[in-house]
Amino acid sequence: MNFFQPTTLPQLAQCLAEQAGPGCHLIAGCTDFLPQRNGTPWDARALISLVNLAELGQIRQENGLVSLGATCTHTQVEGHPLVRQYFPALAQACGSVGSTQIRNRGTVGGNVGNASPAGDLYPVLLVLGARGVVLSGNQAVRRLPMEQLVLPQGALALEPDEAIIAFELPVPSPGNLNAFVKLGERTHVTIAKISLSASLTLHEGRMEQVRLALGAVARRAFLSSSSSALEGKSLSKALLPELFDALSREVAASIPDRPSMPYKRQAVRGLADDLLSALLHQARDVSQQP
Ligand SMILES: Cc1cc2nc3c(=O)[nH]c(=O)nc-3n(C[C@H](O)[C@H](O)[C@H](O)COP(=O)(O)OP(=O)(O)OC[C@H]3O[C@@H](n4cnc5c(N)ncnc54)[C@H](O)[C@@H]3O)c2cc1C
């Protein structure tokens, strides 16, 4: 087996061009890659590690976008001032991934790259309108909205010689609120059984540009059709029965034959309650800012 550690994007492109194909794998923190190979025959002909590419470990703001490098760890993202200022949902999601050790090694690119239905970051990036920046072996760069980056069956829509190098998120408009909540078997170190993410803009007390996403329900997290029902309404706990009904119907319709459907259909009530609390909390903080 050969092991590659490119340090520049041209070197990464060259590795992709020369090595891509069966048995070649990209790796970052390996917190998904290695556990998935426990007890199975080693299948790697070539490993391309992304962690020595300094450029992929950066978070910066330019031209109305915040760019998150693919190898930024959950710890790094959770604590970054730009993320805390604009994207509390992302800070909440990264802060709830696994344990401290997992958050110190696991990366945003690896989380999306693994394309797990229960991955916490995809639904958040979806509601925030992010797109993935993808490098190919011929050094071309293309940008894909999240819905196109991950296919409905829960696999990456990348060619074998492509890698995600960053995610670009539009800087939210004033009055934007965003939040992420999840439910698992435990309160900590828990994989989501169901998650709910939201982004919306409060304008004169009314909700606009509402985007809700349900995670860990179908093969891929999806934007909820309940979003439009909230448009133009005031943000308050009085919305809970209506939101719960709409989300519950949607969960039931999207996984009618799954044994977990009756549980998830009920569990979404608690999540909707937690989500409204998180958004109301943020709304109070925003209104108290000088
Ligand atoms: C104990 C434990 C708890 C966990 N808890 C959670 C949790 O609560 N929530 C959650 O969402 N996840 C959880 N995970 C899963 C995992 O930690 C995260 O998904 C993590 O972000 C993966 O990142 P990584 O860098 O370790 O990926 P790796 O394991 O290095 O890679 C994962 C996959 O993505 C591909 N990949 C990596 N980088 C790229 C890239 N830049 N472009 C394209 N493909 C790429 C790899 O080829 C591989 O298929 C947990 C894992 C463990 C072991």
pLDDT in tens, 69-120: 999 999 999 999 999 999 999 999 999 999 999 999 999 999 999 999 999 9
Do 249 and 229 lie in one domain? The reply is yes
pLDDT value of residue 290? 61
Do 43 and 159 lie in one domain? The reply is yes
pLDDT in tens, 5-54: 999 999 999 999 999 999 999 999 999 999 999 999 888 999 999 999 99
Which CATH number do you get for residue 227? 3.30.390.50
Do 38 and 89 lie in one domain? The reply is yes
As for how many domains the chain has, the answer is 2
Rounded to the nearest integer, the mean pLDDT of the chain is 95
Euclidean distance between CA atoms 255 and 135, whole angstroms: 35
Q: For residue 120, which atom of ligand 1 is closest to its CA?
A: 11
Asked whether the predicted pLDDT for residue 135 surpasses 90, the reply is yes
pLDDT value of residue 192? 87
Q: Which of 3, 24, 26, 40 to mutate to test the pocket of ligand 1 (most atoms within 8 A of CB)?
A: 26
Which CATH number do you get for residue 166? 3.30.465.10
pLDDT value of residue 196? 97
Do 38 and 147 lie in one domain? The reply is yes
Lining ligand 1 with CB less than 6 A are: 25-33, 35, 50, 70, 97-98, 102, 105-107, 109-111, 113-114, 119-120, 163-164, 189, 191
pLDDT value of residue 158? 97
pLDDT in tens, 42-78: 889 999 999 999 999 999 999 999 999 999 999 999 9
Do 86 and 206 lie in one domain? The reply is no
pLDDT (average), residues 173-191: 89
In angstroms, how far is CA 166 from the centroid of its own chain? 12
Do 30 and 154 lie in one domain? The reply is yes
- pTM of this structure: 0.96
pLDDT (average), residues 147-159: 95
Asked whether the predicted pLDDT for residue 186 surpasses 80, the reply is no
> Which segments within 63-193 are labelled E, that is strand?
65-69, 131-136, 141-145, 162-170, 176-183
Domain that holds residue 207: 176-288
HSE-CB for 201 with a 13 A CA cutoff: 9
Domain boundary among 170, 201, 218: 170
Check if the beta carbon of residue 167 is closer than 8 Å to that of residue 134: no
Per-residue three-class SS string for 233-248: CECCHHHHHHHHHHHH
Check if the beta carbon of residue 103 is closer than 8 Å to that of residue 97: yes
Do 10 and 79 lie in one domain? The reply is yes
Check if the beta carbon of residue 230 is closer than 8 Å to that of residue 162: no
Any idea how long the chain is? 290
Do 159 and 195 lie in one domain? The reply is no
- Residue with the smallest CA separation from ligand 1 atom 44 is 113
Do 218 and 184 lie in one domain? The reply is yes
Of 171, 167, 165, which Cα lies nearest the Cα of 55?
A: 165
pLDDT value of residue 42? 87
